[in-house]
Amino acid sequence: MFRSSAPVTASGFRDRTSEIARVLSSFEALQAGAPRWLALVGPRKVGKTSLLLEAARRAPQALSVAVVDVFERAPLDLDVFRLFAARCIDALLDEEMGGSLSRRLHAPAEVRALLHRAPSLRTLDPGLRTDLDRLADDEATGDTVRRWLELPEELCIALDRTLVLAIDEVQELMGLTRYFEPFALMRSVWQRHQRVGYVISGSAPSVLRELVTSRHSPFFQHFHLFELGPFERVDAVELLVEASPPDRRIPGALAERIVDIVGGHPFYLQMVGEALVSEPPPYDDATLKPVLQGLLFSRTGRLSLYFHNEYARLVGHAATLAATLQAIAQEGPVRVTDVARTIGASTASTVRYIERLGDAVQRDDDGRYRVADALFGTWVRWRSPGGTVVPMSIVGDEAEQRVARILAELGFDLVYQSRASRGAFDLLALRGPDQLGLQVERAPFPLRFGKREWNRMDADARRWGWHWVIAAVDAEGEVHVLDPAKARRGREIRLGPEAGIDNLLRWIDERRSAEWSG
């Protein structure tokens, strides 16, 4: 089954064979007395947490894994280190304690009660036992933070255990520099540890790379850099096919089509797969179009809202950053000078704007820039002026794309809808209060329709209160918008070029006026 709202493990975990082997290898190295720290780097929602949780599930029985997301502590302060220590204790002793220490840090008496339940702690050194009992009480200072960082190693020695602490979104700890340099303190304590290994991860790739590779960083040469990217094409297709329910199986050809559109990012694949199989089968391009419209090309779509949050994080209220991102999304890959010309800024200023966009923009070997996440770039184009044609350019055929461009120039927004919502029509065009059903035809004149097909279009338009037209695209690619009222009726319905509508907006106004007067 698909799962887009939580990390996946066990039977839901797919691909990442070499990646999981590398993490497990670092676990084995720790058990052999040669700790090997990992820095897991990748874009947001690419599966870093799922990888760590699945590795924890497969870890040797004698090794425990504690996973902490820095965002769990908001607003961020020094108490995040208290959370690190508590989560490590949970990983080592949760079964003995019968509860979670990290969830009771707000209640010191409950923390002590849980600790007293653990038989393994009864023979601890009195000093270590006192430190554990005071975990929830002590004020967060530089000295107590150092003590909290030391606790996991000391506890593992006392219990003859090994532990891996995995910290996600570790780059956020930079916000603690108002107290002290957190990474310098962490390194100074961790570098002596033999029983505890460390994995750091985050969704700011350039920041993490700098953190572990810069000669001026406290973590320089302490972590092995581990890049995690989207799925390979074959694995992405397999995810869509195999994760779909047996009675709602996504065909392989359609899975390939989806991967062509959204790429191999597992979060996007999970969202599209989840939305697709919520529709009744069979599944084809006609089913996929409205699913993508609802997810990505809608102000309230789940994937659209996700990208909106990312967009707001990147540009905030800075019009210059918004213009820079839009120019790169529209024209990329593109040179700095062309971006500068588009946004009306100097080259030097444009370089600074691009730097502020961080990992959202990547520089190719030839010096040109593109939006790093192609699907996010598509969303940026869609929300830009004239972007109504973007969905058709992604999932529509050539005829639909030509029709979309013509109507977009007239101020229409075009959307794909589900079979149940669109009836006999290919597209719905919206302009203010006006709704126009469009049937796109790719055939020479005269167009021919069976009476049943024709009557269904007419009935659907009446039922939903739409105007409707036929949009014919000839062999030269010219679009003809045809008035169904001028059709010739006989054994079949025929439409020729004489049914053409010269001014579609006036035609709609006339019909609206006729409806009101009637």
State the average pLDDT over residues 80-86. 97
CATH of domain 303-383: 1.10.10.10
Which pair of structure tokens corresponds to residue 116?
A: 């007293």
pLDDT of res. 497:
93
Q: What is the mean pLDDT of residues 408-412?
A: 88
DSSP 434-498: EEEEEEEE-SPSSEEE-HHHHHHHHHHHHHHT-EEEEEEE-TT--EEEE-GGG-EESSSEEE-GG
Q: What is the pLDDT of residues 221-257, one digit of tens each?
A: 999 999 999 999 999 999 999 999 999 999 999 999 9
Query: Is the CB of residue 485 less than 8 Å from the CB of residue 501?
Result: no
**How many angstroms separate the CA atoms of 501 and 160, rounded?**
83
298-316: pLDDT as tens digits: 989 999 999 999 999 999 9
Over residues 452-477, the mean pLDDT reads: 91
CA distances from 501 to 214, 411, 471, 483, 506 (A): 65, 17, 10, 6, 9
Task: Determine the residue type at 268.
Answer: Y
Please state the rounded mean pLDDT for residues 35-50. 89
CB contact set of 296 (below 8 Å; sequence gap of 6+) = 303, 304, 307, 375, 378, 379, 382, 391
Query: Residue 12: which pLDDT band, with cuts at 50, 70 and 90?
Result: low
User: What local confidence, expressed as pLDDT, does residue 62 receive?
Assistant: 83
Q: Angle at which helices 266-277 and 233-243 pack, to 10 degrees?
A: 30
Give pLDDT, residue 419: 58
Mean pLDDT, range 186-190, rounded to an integer: 97
Neighbour tally for 384: CB within 10 Å? 17
Domain locations along the chain: 10-227, 233-295, 303-383, 397-517
> What's the mean pLDDT in 426-438?
88
What tokens does 31 get? 């058990």
Residues 6 or more apart in contact with residue 112 via CB below 8 angstroms: 133, 136
pLDDT reading at 452 higher than 80: yes
| Cβ neighbours, 10 Å, residue 269 | 26
Residue type at position 482: L
Q: What are the φ/ψ torsions at residue 403 (nearest 5 degrees)?
A: -60, -45
User: pLDDT at position 265, please?
Assistant: 93
Residue whose C-alpha is closest to residue 429's, from 505, 493, 480, 487 = 505
| Confidence tier at 417 by pLDDT (50, 70, 90) | low
For all residues of the chain together, what is the average pLDDT? Answer: 91
The answer to whether residue 217 scores a pLDDT higher than 60 is yes
How far apart (Å, rounded) are the C-alpha atoms in residues 254 and 5? Answer: 23
Q: Is the pLDDT of residue 380 over 70?
A: yes
For residue 211, give the nearest of 176, 178, 182, 179 by alpha carbon.
Answer: 182
Q: What is the mean pLDDT of residues 153-166?
A: 96
What is the distance between the alpha carbons of residues 270 and 239, in angstroms, rounded to a whole number? 8
Domain boundaries 397-517, CATH class: alpha beta
Please give the average per-residue pLDDT across 77-81, as a whole number.
96
* pLDDT per position as a tens digit, 273-299: 999 999 999 999 989 999 999 999 998
Would you say residue 420 has pLDDT above 60? no
Q: Is the dihedral of CA 421, 427, 430, 436 positive or negative?
A: negative
* Confidence band of 421 (pLDDT split at 50, 70, 90): low
Q: What is the reported pLDDT for 84? A: 97
Of 40, 3, 6, 45, give the one whose Cα is nearest residue 307. Answer: 45
pLDDT of 319 above 60: yes
Is 90 exceeded by the pLDDT of residue 425?
no
Q: Is residue 5 pLDDT above 70, yes or no?
A: no
The percentage of residues in the chain with a pLDDT greater than 90, rounded to a whole number, is: 73
- Whether 482 shows a pLDDT value over 60: the answer reads yes
* Residue pair 195/66 in contact by the 8 Å Cβ criterion: no
Per-residue pLDDT band at 204 (split at 50, 70, 90): confident
CATH superfamily of 10-227: P-loop containing nucleotide triphosphate hydrolases (3.40.50.300)
* Across 200-215, average pLDDT: 91
What is the four-CA torsion angle of 124, 128, 134, 140, rounded to 10 degrees?
-150
Nearest to 13 by CA among 51, 61, 45, 68: 51
Lowest mean pLDDT, pick from 48-62, 350-364, 398-412, 420-434? 420-434
Question: Model-level pTM greater than 0.75?
Answer: yes
Distances (CA, A) of 185 to 144, 219, 221, 503: 12, 10, 16, 72
Distance separating alpha carbons of residues 232 and 216, to the nearest angstrom: 35
Q: Work out the pLDDT band at 57, boundaries 50, 70, 90.
A: confident
